[in-house]
Amino acid sequence: MSTHTASGPTHIGRRREPGRGMSPFAAVVVLLLAFAVGALVIAAIVAAQAADEARDDVSSGAAATAAPVHDHSSHAATANQALPLESFAGKTGANAEALAKAHAAYDATLPPVPPGDLVKIHMTLKDMVVEIAPGVKYNTWAFDGHGAPGPILHVREGQTVEMTLTNGGSIPHSIDFHAARIAPNVAFTDVAPGDSFTFRFKASDPGVFMYHCGTKPVLAHIANGMYGALVVDPATPLPKADRSYVLVASEWYLNGDGVGTPASLDMAKARAMTPDWTTFNGYANQYVTHPLTANPGETVRLYVVAAGPTLDTNFHVVGTIFDRAWVNGDMTQFQHGVQTVGVPAGGGAVFDVKIDDVGLYPFVSHAFAHVDLGQVGLLKIGNAKGTMSH
Ligand SMILES: [Cu+2]
């Protein structure tokens, strides 16, 4: 290191004992140079390690696209990922406001429970490009052609769900229901492209549950949009709600801005947990532009699932307090008067709010980096006007 300092462009660096006979200013310069060289060496080591990892990522990313199994034996020669990881956070298409208005918001309304003891669900998986923010396109692997999340499912405790998965995509996929008590190696099995697979389970536990693709690497399959929510009503009905909405929180990791060419998954970012966008129901800020609505005094029930793939959601509604919070989806008991509830990745919770005053009430993940990345919406009570800064 001292050699590097000595060969530097200033005469100061040539002195073997930089402290002696030197002005205080020169001593500081020498010290700073020493630090700078040290930092460069460390950066070089980190960059070398990161380049190795990037090569791994390229090969496993290719494996994720072409086949669901990691293949560490083949290391692609090209490392085309810039390091440090480039963020595309907040990078929208031009005229973002107009694009956001034109976007059809994901319908968060909880659908009714189908009649009968047996509920048949058929989903066809499809590779499709969706918008995840104004003008930002992403290559998803989508449940039932919905983009992300997949369809909201709603059953009652005691009903049997018969799930048929048809794989219209190009690689194997599967579906894992958190609501099911079933051998995953039997039911959540990989379905080859073009094939269909049917299994049944009894919805014996009430709550709001995640479902997702469980094919390896699961991180990639969930990050590519393969998730959704299943609401199981308790056999003993909950207190009456006037409106029920379902919000699936998730994050997106982009290998490009998605503005011209659709972005795909950046596995290095997914592993580093540095998302470009975080969303409710798959599109940044969509319920800011198209708020969820209720009348003053109505009870609004919010079913929240944190799909991840990795990050939790700290659910909070600005300007009110949860009248009831079924924390962690335990429908046997609720908490009163709580402000923020953590919904873990892979978990769910149910919230009641009753708001009497007309206004715009933001719902957020109160880990505010998520708000900045798009995980925020508005609950519009009555004929409220204006905008909110949250
Ligand atoms: Cu999948």
Instruction: Please report the pLDDT score of residue 51 as a whole number.
Output: 39
Give the model's confidence band at 23: pLDDT under 50 very low, under 70 low, under 90 confident, else very high.
low
Mean pLDDT of 171-183: 97
Given a cut of 60, is residue 13 above it in pLDDT?
A: no
- Say whether pLDDT at 263 is over 70: yes
pLDDT(356) > 70: yes
Q: What is the mean pLDDT of residues 291-308?
A: 98
CA 254 to ligand 1 centroid distance, Å:
18
Q: Ligand 1 centroid to 277 CA: how many Å?
A: 20
Q: What is the pTM of this model?
A: 0.79
Q: What mean pLDDT is predicted for residues 159-166?
A: 98
Ligand 1 centroid to Cα of residue 187, in Å, is 14
> What is residue 145's predicted lDDT score, i.e. its pLDDT?
73
pLDDT of res. 387: 64
pLDDT, one tens digit per residue, over 196-244 is: 999 999 999 999 999 999 999 999 999 999 999 999 999 999 999 999 9
User: Whole-angstrom Cα distance, residue 78 to residue 246?
Assistant: 42
- Tell me how far the alpha carbon of residue 141 lies from the centroid of ligand 1, in angstroms: 7
From the CA of 353, how far away is ligand 1's center (Å)?
Answer: 35
Q: How far is the CA of 127 from the centre of ligand 1 (A)?
A: 10
Strands of 118-133's sheet in order across: 136-142, 118-133, 160-167, 196-202
Of 36-40, 135-139, 171-175, 362-366, the poorest mean pLDDT is in 36-40
Is-contact 348 206, C-beta < 8 A?
A: no
Question: For residue 64, what pLDDT is reported?
Answer: 37
Q: In the structure, what pLDDT confidence band is assigned to residue 50 with cuts at 50, 70 and 90?
A: very low
CA 196 – ligand 1 centroid, Å:
14
Residue 84: pLDDT band with limits 50, 70, 90: confident
| Over residues 134-138, mean pLDDT | 98
Neighbouring-strand partners of residue 122: 164
Tell me what the mean pLDDT of segment 316-329 comes to. 98
The first and second tokens of residue 145, run together, are 């052609």
Q: How far is the CA of 221 from the centre of ligand 1 (A)?
A: 5
Q: Which of the pair, 338 or 25, is modelled with greater confidence?
A: 338
**pLDDT confidence bin for 267, thresholds 50/70/90:** very high
- Residue 53 is predicted with a pLDDT of 40
Residue 385, pLDDT score: 84
Ligand 1 centre to CA of 80 (Å) is 25
Note the pLDDT of residue 82: 53
Distance 214 CA to ligand 1 centre (A): 6
Among the listed residues 58, 89, 87, the one whose alpha carbon sits nearest the alpha carbon of residue 74: 58
The alpha carbon of 41 and the centre of ligand 1 are apart by a number of angstroms equal to 41
Q: What is the pLDDT of residue 81?
A: 55
pLDDT exceeds cutoff 90 at 290? yes
- Tell me what the mean pLDDT of segment 52-65 comes to: 38
Range with the poorest average pLDDT among 68-72, 136-140, 220-224, 296-300 = 68-72
Output the average pLDDT for the chain: 84
CA 173–ligand 1 middle distance (angstroms): 4
The better pLDDT of the pair 21, 182 is held by 182
Distance 47 CA to ligand 1 centre (A): 32
Answer whether residue 55 shows pLDDT above 50.
Answer: no
By the CB criterion, residues less than 5 angstroms from ion ligand 1 are: 173, 213, 215, 221, 226
Give the rounded distance of the alpha carbon of 245 from its chain centre: 18
Residue 312 Cα, ligand 1 centroid: separation in angstroms?
21
Q: For residue 358, count other CB atoms closer than 10 A to its CB.
A: 13
Q: Distance from the CA of 229 to the center of ligand 1, in angstroms?
A: 16
